[in-house]
Amino acid sequence: MAENKGHGGRGRPTMMDVAAMAGVSQATVSLVLNGSPGAKLTDTTRRRVLDAAQKLGYQFVRRGSRSAPGGQSTIVFIADEVTTDPWMALAFEGARDKALEFGINICLELSHGDADMETAVVNQMGELPTLGFIYGTILTRLVELPPALASDRTVLVNCYDAQRAYPSVLPGDLLGGRTATERLLQAGRKRIGFINGQHGVDAARDRLKGYKQALASNDIPFDADLVRPGNWEPTAGYEMTHELMAMDNPPDAIFCANDMMALGCYEALAELGLKVPDDVAVIGFDDREISQHMHPPLTTLILPHYEMGQIAAELLIDGAGGLYAKPNRIKVECELVERQSVERSPS
Q: Are residues 179 and 224 in the same domain?
A: yes
Contacts of 236 (CB under 8 A, 6+ apart): 195, 229, 230, 261, 264
* CATH code of the domain in which 25 resides: 1.10.260.40
pLDDT at residue 281, rounded to an integer? 98
Q: What is the mean pLDDT of the chain?
A: 87
Contacts of 234 (CB under 8 A, 6+ apart): 260, 261, 263, 264, 267
pLDDT at residue 39, rounded to an integer? 52
Phi, psi of 283 (to 5 degrees): -135, 145
H or E element in which residue 155 lies: strand 154-161
User: CA dist 71 to 94, 120, 129, 160, 320, Å?
Assistant: 22, 24, 8, 29, 9
Q: How far apart are CA 189 and CA 85, in angstroms?
A: 32
Residue 181 forms part of a structural domain: yes
Residue 69 has pLDDT above 60, yes or no: no
187 burial (CB, 10 Å; 0-12 / 13-18 / 19+) is middle
Q: Are residues 186 and 287 in the same domain?
A: yes
Provide the domain count of the chain: 3
Residue 59 has pLDDT above 80, yes or no: no
Q: Are residues 81 and 92 in the same domain?
A: yes
Q: Are residues 44 and 18 in the same domain?
A: yes
Residue 342 forms part of a structural domain: no
Residue 61 forms part of a structural domain: no
Mean per-residue pLDDT, 108-121: 90
Q: Are residues 310 and 167 in the same domain?
A: yes
Q: Are residues 165 and 181 in the same domain?
A: no
pLDDT at residue 5, rounded to an integer? 40
Task: Give tens-digit pLDDT for 158-179.
Answer: 999 999 999 999 999 999 999 9
Q: How do strand 168-171 and strand 130-143 relate by DSSP bridges? A: unpaired
pLDDT at residue 84, rounded to an integer? 85
pTM of the model: 0.79
Q: How far apart are CA 277 and CA 5, in angstroms?
A: 23
Q: Are residues 126 and 98 in the same domain?
A: yes
Domain that includes residue 187, residue range:
173-302
Q: How far apart are CA 331 and CA 149, in angstroms?
A: 22
pLDDT band at 287 (very low <50, low <70, confident <90, very high): very high
Q: Are residues 137 and 103 in the same domain?
A: yes
Q: Are residues 183 and 293 in the same domain?
A: yes
Residue, of 29 and 248, whose pLDDT is higher:
248
pLDDT at residue 296, rounded to an integer? 97
pLDDT at residue 68, rounded to an integer? 53
* Most confident residue range from 69-78, 234-243, 336-345: 234-243
Q: Are residues 161 and 308 in the same domain?
A: yes
Name the percent of the chain lying above pLDDT 70: 85
Residue 345 forms part of a structural domain: no
